[in-house]
Amino acid sequence: MKHLFTILFTVVALFSNAQFIKKLSLDVNVGGRFGGAVAADTVISDTLTNYKVSPGIHADGGVRYQLNELLSIRGGISYDGFKTTGNVRSDSSSTDNSSLISGSIEAVVNLKKLKFMSFIPEKMGLNFHAGLGLSTMSNSNVKKFNTDNNITPSDPGLKGNDDMVNIVFGLTPQYKLNDKISINLDLSTKLLVKQSLYVNPGQDSRVNDKMGNIFNVAVGATYKF
pLDDT of 194 > 90? The answer is no
In the chain, where are the structural domains located? Answer: 25-224
CB burial string 95-119: b at 16+ within 10 A, e below: ebebbbebebebebbbbbeeeeeee
Distance, in Å, from the CA atom of 198 to the CA atom of 53, rounded to the nearest integer, reads 11
Check if the beta carbon of residue 83 is closer than 8 Å to that of residue 56.
yes
**What is the per-residue pLDDT for 42?**
45
- State the pLDDT confidence band at 89, using cuts at 50, 70 and 90: very low
Distance, in Å, from the CA atom of 73 to the CA atom of 94, rounded to the nearest integer, reads 42
pLDDT per position as a tens digit, 17-70: 667 678 899 999 999 999 875 544 444 455 455 567 778 999 999 999 999 999
CATH architecture assignment, domain 25-224: Beta Barrel (2.40)
pLDDT per position as a tens digit, 121-169: 989 999 999 999 999 888 777 666 666 776 665 566 676 677 889 999 9
Q: Residue 35 burial by CB count (10 A; 0-12/13-18/19+): exposed, middle or buried?
A: middle
pLDDT of 78 > 80? The answer is yes
Supply the pTM of this predicted model.
0.81
